[in-house]
């Protein structure tokens, strides 16, 4: 029997590189690597040749030279003498602004529509289905352009607010809807406003602490404390008290017509609104579908089991359905956020100065550094995507069913 | 109380009464679906009011619509201050919206025919059970026919392209017994060699069996969106399968090449890839070659969608029970056979709804090419039509038209996908 | 040409024969078409008419070059470019010639490696405002919202102008002239700024052009001209001298009406004879035949005729000759001698 256990030791032959599964994978990988190297080398050589032929080079020196152009929406200090790098930073921040606003709004739209799609009310259900289908099946670029057109072509220009018999008037004397954007009152932070803000933040922590305490009490003693109104009291009463005690340090600056434009207040530009709402409504339609699918994914038995335990309908939703549905909803939700962030690059169609508009737009045009600009642009989006994917992975791992 | 004190005792059964009016027919339906609770009733009333307002405010726009007028000013004169749409812009410029402003108008029938043939070609793929399998031959020929119809030129070019594919397929079938991977490479090389050689044949015979050639620069309108969508999705399917298999591969180098490619493409917005096509790609090609923009865009969009399709198919592969892989191995099938006969048919079937979703998304994304100064339907609207002095200011009619086109197409495809999903679900029961 | 053959069979979408850096002339001749970059649409300078035929002042330069090189003023493939894509299109060889009211600047000539072959329109940046705004000078525009086409020199001039005058403004970046027009008309910006010629052209397309005025300030020098890739000097010479042939033709009194007569036989004026090829061998010096300039002039007339037909005072655009008049007429259009 011992002779049978020793396999014959074959000497290595060249043909084994193809026919022997032990070596074949090495052959393939080697070939793939060589092909990849050849391809990259070919592209690289072409790049070098082309650049040499046109007498150009790859250099990022232009980033530190003055940008020489102005940007309308500046979250950070910027003027035409700032560097291209700073212009790119302004763009990055503008991208993040519209992405965050868009994601928040899209979630609100999406969750509302998704829940209402399962409503017992036939009309509401159909309306929501209509919303979802209409927005999902028409390109987001068209939505952006449509909302932008609404902003510029339908709303009145600031000029129409002028005079006594003006065609347009401000809403509650505080909000002006013009075709250059919406002007809303802006808070003015007087001395002591920091205290108010800190109080408010502390109140938020207080609410959480109270809820934790209430839950603990419920589990320990079975006594159920009311959750709703005490939370509201904790949230608002101290802040309001401090606000008046300190003599109203935070006031509002109302927009008013001055010169060519409205002055004062917060100016939310038409391009931002168009991009923000178009992205939010469009992505919201997708989120609605995710939410609906997530809720439907929880089997009916769960609802029935919870009901047979004597839970009331809203508690069934909060304690049984939602926690299970969220497990299904959140991963696609995050990838929708990612899509929204990437779609925000369509800002260029309405002249919103996001990073595609500054770095990939004006800077690229004015310096002619196409390769460098596009490379940086891609790197930026790639970083964001990878960061969000990383967060998603962590989350997915944390909610993974702990199975024995 | 004794029995005799009762005044009346019914001695026989009453006939069944009909249910109360509130529990039948329309009333019951209304009660259950619209007014089941005070909150619901409120919701119903509010939404009914909103719908009513929308209908009332937009109806005159449609009813008073002007369908014939040479320009916006003329149209406004016809309307005499009434509210109404100037749909005349569509009757005047429909050809530009559909075909772009330079496609020769006497040749509109060619892309039109190609579009109709698309349905015949797609039918056996989409509804495999209804249509005979033989129609798949036409599906295989369709790309070459469509190319010839749309671009024109010598018939020899698509014929030789087709022959090249056949040569490749022949070589593959001969080599596959040796080793599938090698067979793919050799077949590809064989096809390539054939194409290069045939280039010498077709180039001097430009006018053999030729119909009028149309440069791709002359194409535009919705045609471009459809072309890009169809071409890129069909090209990215095989690429996506390869990438998905590569990503699942046990060979680390191949796996990492695929992972990096997929994650990179998925991490950047399509618009940056279009920028690459538009302004950067030329730097990476040998000096002197110059693809036209459509081709560059097709390359980039295909790369883009293949990464997404790869992820969908990877999901399908992962969803297959491990037993299927092991069963294939235990039958002694090699990798290519196992994939071809056991794994991919099942995995692709699971992935079809996902693939259709990617296809719809991609089709919508083709509008992005308007940003790089291509005149697709959005580009036509924003560029030549809105810029013309006749139609400066006609937004809603034009955007509405584009919306309708996209909605019909995308809604149709997604309905198909849902139908298919239901079909597939019943199969498993 | 091997590469073309190879890829021609490979590619599904067809392939334009490439223009290599060295011999644009050969490529153009081999292709039988001139690829000419123009704007996506600026009435008077370059815009497709209702039938898709390109017309305009810049288009005429393309047609003249095509006529000179290929003998057919219609052998032009017009490639619409935006402010963003124009330079890449030229650098990558997608187009042989860019005639897209592009300002000749130092960095474009040197850093971007292009050659401007001349100036076909001396322009400057101006402001268009509605009359109702009651503004008479650009310096009164403090706090105004300004629509501005991105990717152009005007964007930089604007920033410089407002900074120099220490007044503030709100830029609204737009991609194409058409959008600028829409935004301006809707009142989304108080003023629209671009080259004065572009403003005139834009204003001409308005329903009520008289409701709008172009402010007197011209805040920059904008010498607009056709340009080619740096490095192919032979091709640059052809475009340059085709353009100057048009300018010289006006000076010499060669028009599309009398060109047949003048070129029939050598006349009294030796320079006219040289331009029209009835005397000397000028064509051979740039690699063309002797009738190149005759064809170039015949296709759309001389510089003055092109100007009058597309953007002159009789057209809706209504631009005066101004600086663009011949040097003999008080302008600065001055063709070097043909000799």
Contact C159 A258 (CB under 8 A): no
Alpha helices (H) along A344-369:
355-357, 364-367
DSSP string, C174-187: ESSHHHHHHHHHTT
Residue C21, min C-alpha distance to chain A (Å) = 7
Contact C178 B382 (CB under 8 A): yes
**pLDDT value at position A99?**
93
Residue C324, min C-alpha distance to chain B (Å) = 27
What size, in residues, is chain A? 404
Integer Cα distance of C42 and C176 in angstroms: 9
Q: Does B143 touch chain C (CB under 8 A)?
A: yes
Residue B46, min C-alpha distance to chain C (Å) = 34
Best mutation target among A19, A141, A283, A369 (most B Cβ atoms within 10 Å) is A141
In a domain, residue A281? The reply is: yes
All residues of chain A having their beta carbon less than 8 Å from the beta carbon of residue B414 are 136-137
Alpha helices (H) along B2-87:
25-33, 38-63, 72-79
Contact B151 C176 (CB under 8 A): no
Domain count, chain A: 1
SS in 3 state form for C222-244?
EEEEEEEECCCHHHHHHHHHHHH
B288-340 tens-digit pLDDT:
666 777 888 998 999 999 999 999 999 888 888 888 888 988 998 888 788 88
Spell out the domains of chain C, with CATH numbers in brackets: 19-122+223-329 (3.40.190.10), 125-220 (3.40.190.10)
Contact B282 C52 (CB under 8 A): no
Residue B423, min C-alpha distance to chain C (Å) = 35
CA contacts within 13 A on the Cβ side of B400:
12
Integer Cα distance of A76 and A89 in angstroms: 9
Inter-CA distances, A251 with A187, A235, A264, A302, C196, Å = 6, 20, 13, 50, 46
* Partner-chain residue, chosen from A124, A342, A364, that has the shortest CB–CB distance to B269: A342
Burial string for C221-260 (b: 16+ CB within 10 Å, else e) reads: ebbbbbbbbbbbeebbbbbbbbbbbbbbbbbbebbbeebe
Residue B164, min C-alpha distance to chain A (Å) = 22
* Nearest-by-CA chain C residue for B275: C85
Q: C192 by DSSP, 3-state: which?
A: strand
Integer Cα distance of C122 and C126 in angstroms: 13
**pLDDT value at position A19?**
67
Residue B415, min C-alpha distance to chain A (Å) = 10
**pLDDT value at position A100?**
93
Integer Cα distance of C186 and C188 in angstroms: 5
Integer Cα distance of A178 and A256 in angstroms: 12
Whether C245 contacts C275, CB under 8 Å: yes
Q: B203 pLDDT exceeds 80?
A: no
* Nearest-by-CA chain C residue for B389: C205
Contacts of C25 (CB under 8 A, 6+ apart): C69, C234, C235, C238, C287
* Nearest-by-CA chain A residue for B249: A25
Q: Does A53 touch chain C (CB under 8 A)?
A: yes
Integer Cα distance of A202 and B143 in angstroms: 66
Contact B217 C77 (CB under 8 A): yes
Q: Does A56 touch chain C (CB under 8 A)?
A: yes
Q: Does A205 touch chain B (CB under 8 A)?
A: no
Contact B73 C207 (CB under 8 A): yes
* Partner-chain residue, chosen from C14, C41, C179, that has the shortest CB–CB distance to B151: C14
Best mutation target among A142, A179, A296 (most B Cβ atoms within 10 Å) is A142
Chains contacting C (3 or more CB pairs within 8 Å): A, B
In a domain, residue A138? The reply is: yes
Contact C144 A153 (CB under 8 A): no
Chains contacting B (3 or more CB pairs within 8 Å): A, C
Question: Taking CB atoms and an 8 Å cut-off, how many pairs form between chains A and B?
Answer: 159
Residue B279, min C-alpha distance to chain A (Å) = 7
Q: What residues form DSSP beta bridges with A257?
A: A262
Whether B44 contacts A121, CB under 8 Å: yes
Q: Which of C115, C330, C154 is nearest to C243 (CA)?
A: C115
In the predicted model, residues of chain C with pLDDT beneath 50 are 1-21
SS3 content of chain B, % helix, strand, coil (to 5): 75, 0, 25
* Partner-chain residue, chosen from C20, C82, C207, that has the shortest CB–CB distance to B288: C20
Contacts of C234 (CB under 8 A, 6+ apart): C23, C24, C25, C286, C287
Q: Please report, for the domain that includes residue A115, its CATH number.
A: 1.10.3720.10
* Partner-chain residue, chosen from A123, A141, A374, that has the shortest CB–CB distance to B272: A374
Q: How deeply is C126 buried, as exposed, middle or buried, from its count of CB atoms within 10 A (0-12, 13-18, 19+)?
A: buried
All residues of chain B having their beta carbon less than 8 Å from the beta carbon of residue A138 are 364, 403, 406-407, 410
Structure tokens at B19: 């249910």
Q: C335 by DSSP, 3-state: which?
A: coil
B 195-214 residues inside an 8 A Cβ radius of C: 195-196, 198-200, 202-203, 213
Inter-CA distances, B105 with B101, B112, B218, B285, Å = 9, 12, 11, 35
Q: B182 pLDDT exceeds 90?
A: no
Integer Cα distance of B102 and C16 in angstroms: 17
| CA torsion through residues A289, A290, A291, A292, sign | positive
Structural domain range at position A366: 62-159+270-404
C24-31 vs C233-252: helix axis angle to the nearest 10? 80
Residue A268, min C-alpha distance to chain B (Å) = 23
In a domain, residue A192? The reply is: no
pTM: 0.85
Beta strands A261-263 and A256-258: pairing type?
A: antiparallel
CA contacts within 13 A on the Cβ side of C155:
26
Integer Cα distance of A389 and A383 in angstroms: 10
Contact B287 C20 (CB under 8 A): yes
ipTM for this prediction? 0.87
Q: Does C28 touch chain A (CB under 8 A)?
A: no
Whether A343 contacts B269, CB under 8 Å: yes
* Nearest-by-CA chain C residue for B160: C9
DSSP string, C27-62: HHHHHTSEEEEEES-BTTTBEE-TTS-EESHHHHHH
Spell out the domains of chain B, with CATH numbers in brackets: 219-429 (1.10.3720.10)
Integer Cα distance of B118 and B121 in angstroms: 5
Integer Cα distance of B420 and B423 in angstroms: 5
B356-415 tens-digit pLDDT:
889 999 999 999 998 887 888 998 888 778 877 778 778 888 999 999 999 999 999 888
Q: What residues form DSSP beta bridges with C102?
A: C225
Integer Cα distance of B44 and B38 in angstroms: 10
What is the end-to-end Cα distance of chain B in Å, rounded?
64
Helix (H) or strand (E) run with residue B405 in it = helix B396-428
Structure tokens at C143: 């706090």
- Residue by residue, pLDDT tens for chain A (404 residues) are 445 555 555 566 777 666 676 777 788 788 888 989 999 999 999 888 888 877 778 888 888 988 888 888 888 888 888 899 999 999 999 999 999 999 999 999 999 998 888 888 888 888 899 999 999 999 999 999 999 888 888 888 887 777 666 667 777 677 888 888 888 888 887 777 788 888 889 988 988 898 888 888 888 888 877 777 888 888 888 888 888 887 777 777 788 777 777 877 788 888 899 999 999 999 999 999 999 888 888 888 888 999 999 988 888 888 888 888 888 888 888 889 999 999 999 988 888 889 988 888 888 888 878 889 999 999 999 999 999 888 888 887 887 766 55
CA contacts within 13 A on the Cβ side of B310:
27
Q: Which of A283, A379, A398 is nearest to A338 (CA)?
A: A283
Contacts of C233 (CB under 8 A, 6+ apart): C115
| Proportion of chain B above pLDDT 90, given as a percent | 18
A 313-342 residues inside an 8 A Cβ radius of B: 342
Q: Does A216 touch chain B (CB under 8 A)?
A: no
* Nearest-by-CA chain B residue for C185: B393
All residues of chain B having their beta carbon less than 8 Å from the beta carbon of residue C93 are 282, 288, 290
B36-70 tens-digit pLDDT:
778 788 888 888 899 999 999 888 888 888 888 88
Q: How deeply is A205 buried, as exposed, middle or buried, from its count of CB atoms within 10 A (0-12, 13-18, 19+)?
A: exposed
Whether A222 contacts A265, CB under 8 Å: no
Question: B154-168, B276-290, B292-306: lowest mean pLDDT where?
Answer: B276-290
Q: What residues form DSSP beta bridges with C193?
A: C127, C148
Q: What residues form DSSP beta bridges with B218?
A: none
B11-38 tens-digit pLDDT:
888 888 888 777 777 788 887 777 777 8
Contacts of C314 (CB under 8 A, 6+ apart): C308
What size, in residues, is chain B? 429
Contact B216 C18 (CB under 8 A): no
B229-262 tens-digit pLDDT:
998 998 999 899 999 998 888 888 888 999 999 9
**pLDDT value at position B307?**
94
Integer Cα distance of A145 and A147 in angstroms: 6
**Number of separate helices (H) and strands (E) present in chain B:** 19, 2
In a domain, residue A356? The reply is: yes
| CA torsion through residues A278, A283, A289, A294, sign | negative
Question: Taking CB atoms and an 8 Å cut-off, how many pairs form between chains B and C?
Answer: 135
Q: How deeply is A7 buried, as exposed, middle or buried, from its count of CB atoms within 10 A (0-12, 13-18, 19+)?
A: exposed
Contacts of C22 (CB under 8 A, 6+ apart): C231, C232
pLDDT band at B280 (very low <50, low <70, confident <90, very high): confident
């Amino acid at each position: 029997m011992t002779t049978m256990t020793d396999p014959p030791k074959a000497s290595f032959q060249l043909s084994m590189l193809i026919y022997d599964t032990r070596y074949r994978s090495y052959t393939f990988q080697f070939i793939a690597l060589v092909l990849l190297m050849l391809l990259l080398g070919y592209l690289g050589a072409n790049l070098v040749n082309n650049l040499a032929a046109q007498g150009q080079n790859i250099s990022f020196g232009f980033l530190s030279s003055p940008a020489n152009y102005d940007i309308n929406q500046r979250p950070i200090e910027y003027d035409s003498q700032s560097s291209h790098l700073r212009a790119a930073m302004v763009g990055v921040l503008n991208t993040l602004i519209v992405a965050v606003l868009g994601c928040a709004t899209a979630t609100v739209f999406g969750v509302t529509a998704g829940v209402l799609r399962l409503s017992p009310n036939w009309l509401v259900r159909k309306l929501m289905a209509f919303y979802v289908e209409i927005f999902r099946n028409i390109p987001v670029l068209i939505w952006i352009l449509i909302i932008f057109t609404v902003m510029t072509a339908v709303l009145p220009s600031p000029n129409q607010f002028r005079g006594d018999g003006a065609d347009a008037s401000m809403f509650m004397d505080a909000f002006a809807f013009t075709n250059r954007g919406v002007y809303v009152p802006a808070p003015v932070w007087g001395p002591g406003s920091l205290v108010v803000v800190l109080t408010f933040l502390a109140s938020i922590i207080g609410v959480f602490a109270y809820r934790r305490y209430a839950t603990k009490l419920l589990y320990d003693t079975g006594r159920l404390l009311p959750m709703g109104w005490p939370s509201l009291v904790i949230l608002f009463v101290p802040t309001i008290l401090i606000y008046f005690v300190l003599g109203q340090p935070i006031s509002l600056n109302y927009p008013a017509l001055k010169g060519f434009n409205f002055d004062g207040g917060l100016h939310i530009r038409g391009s931002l609104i168009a991009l923000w709402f178009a992205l939010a409504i469009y992505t919201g339609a997708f989120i609605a579908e995710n939410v609906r699918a997530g809720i439907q994914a929880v089997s009916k038995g769960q609802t029935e089991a919870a009901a047979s335990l004597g839970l009331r309908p809203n508690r069934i939703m909060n304690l049984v359905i939602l926690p299970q549905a969220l497990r299904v909803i959140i991963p696609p939700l995050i990838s929708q956020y990612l899509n929204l962030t990437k779609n925000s690059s369509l800002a260029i169609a309405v002249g919103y100065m996001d990073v595609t508009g500054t770095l990939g737009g004006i800077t690229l045009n004015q310096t002619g550094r196409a390769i460098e600009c596009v490379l940086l642009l891609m790197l930026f989006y790639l970083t964001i995507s990878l960061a969000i994917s990383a967060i998603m992975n962590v989350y997915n791992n944390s909610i993974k069913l702990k199975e024995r | 109380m004794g029995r005799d004190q009762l005044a009346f005792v019914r001695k026989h059964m009453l006939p069944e009464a009909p249910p109360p009016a509130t529990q039948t027919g329309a009333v019951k339906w209304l009660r259950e679906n619209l007014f089941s609770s005070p909150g619901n009733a409120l919701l119903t009333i509010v939404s009914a009011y909103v719908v009513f307002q929308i209908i009332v405010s937009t109806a005159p726009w449609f009813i008073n619509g002007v369908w014939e007028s040479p320009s916006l000013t003329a149209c406004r004169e016809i309307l005499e201050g009434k509210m109404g749409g100037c749909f005349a812009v569509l009757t005047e410029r429909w050809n530009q919206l559909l075909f772009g402003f330079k496609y020769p108008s006497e040749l509109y029938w060619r892309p039109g025919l190609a579009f109709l043939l698309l349905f015949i070609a797609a039918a056996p793929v989409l509804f495999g059970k209804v249509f005979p399998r033989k129609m798949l031959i036409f599906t295989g020929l369709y790309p070459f026919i469509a190319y010839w119809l749309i671009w024109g030129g010598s018939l020899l070019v698509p014929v030789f392209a087709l022959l090249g594919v056949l040569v490749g397929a022949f070589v593959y079938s001969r080599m596959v017994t040796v080793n599938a991977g090698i067979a793919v490479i050799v077949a590809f090389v064989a096809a390539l060699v054939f194409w290069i050689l045939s280039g010498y044949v077709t180039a001097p015979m430009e006018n053999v069996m030729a119909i009028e050639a149309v440069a791709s620069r002359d194409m535009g309108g919705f045609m471009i969106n459809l072309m890009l969508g169809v071409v890129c999705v069909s090209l990215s399917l095989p690429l996506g399968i390869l990438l998905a298999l590569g990503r699942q591969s046990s060979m680390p180098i191949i796996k990492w090449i695929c992972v990096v490619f997929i994650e990179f493409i998925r991490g950047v917005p399509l618009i940056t890839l279009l920028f690459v096509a538009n302004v950067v790609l030329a730097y990476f090609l040998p000096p002197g070659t110059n693809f036209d923009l459509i081709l560059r865009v097709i390359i980039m969009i295909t790369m883009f969608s293949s990464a997404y399709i790869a992820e969908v198919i990877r999901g399908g592969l992962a969803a297959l029970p491990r037993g299927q892989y092991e069963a294939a191995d235990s039958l002694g099938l090699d990798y290519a056979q196992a994939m071809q006969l056991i794994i991919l048919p099942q995995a692709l079937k699971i992935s079809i709804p996902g693939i259709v979703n990617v296809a719809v998304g991609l089709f919508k994304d083709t509008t992005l090419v308007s940003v790089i100064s291509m005149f697709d339907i959005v580009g036509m609207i924003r560029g030549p039509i809105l810029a013309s002095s006749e139609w400066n200011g006609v937004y809603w009619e034009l955007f509405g038209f584009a919306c309708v086109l996209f909605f019909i197409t995308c809604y149709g495809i997604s309905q198909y996908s849902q139908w298919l999903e239901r079909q597939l679900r019943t199969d498993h029961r | 040409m091997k590469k073309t053959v190879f890829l021609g069979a490979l590619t599904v979408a067809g392939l334009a024969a490439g223009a290599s850096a060295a011999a644009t002339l050969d490529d153009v001749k081999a292709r039988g078409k001139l690829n000419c970059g123009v704007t996506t649409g600026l009435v008077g300078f370059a815009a497709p008419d209702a039938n898709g035929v390109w017309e305009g002042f810049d288009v005429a330069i393309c047609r003249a070059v095509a006529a000179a090189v290929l003998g057919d003023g219609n052998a032009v493939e017009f490639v619409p470019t935006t402010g963003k894509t124009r330079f890449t299109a030229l650098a990558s060889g997608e187009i042989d010639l860019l005639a897209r009211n592009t300002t000749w600047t130092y960095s474009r000539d040197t850093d971007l490696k292009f050659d401007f072959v001349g100036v076909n329109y001396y322009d400057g940046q101006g402001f268009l405002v509605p009359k109702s705004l009651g503004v008479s000078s650009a310096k009164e525009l403090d706090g105004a919202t300004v629509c501005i086409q991105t990717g152009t020199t005007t964007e930089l001039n604007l920033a410089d102008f407002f900074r120099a005058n220490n007044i503030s403004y709100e830029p609204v970046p737009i991609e194409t002239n058409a959008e600028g027009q829409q935004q301006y008309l809707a009142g989304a910006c108080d003023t629209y700024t671009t080259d004065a010629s572009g403003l005139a052209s834009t204003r001409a397309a308005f329903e009520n052009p008289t409701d709008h005025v172009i402010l007197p300030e011209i805040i920059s020098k904008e010498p607009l001209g056709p340009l080619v890739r740096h490095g192919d000097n032979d091709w640059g010479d052809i475009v340059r001298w085709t353009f100057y042939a048009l300018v010289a033709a006006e000076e010499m009194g060669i028009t599309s009406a009398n060109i047949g007569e003048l070129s029939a036989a050598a006349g009294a004026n030796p320079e006219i004879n040289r331009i029209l090829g009835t005397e000397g061998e000028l064509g051979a010096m740039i690699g063309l035949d002797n009738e190149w300039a005759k064809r170039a002039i015949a296709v759309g007339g001389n510089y003055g005729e092109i100007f009058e037909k597309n953007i002159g005072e009789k057209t809706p655009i209504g631009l005066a000759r101004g600086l663009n008049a011949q040097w003999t007429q008080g302008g600065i259009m001055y063709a070097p001698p043909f000799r």
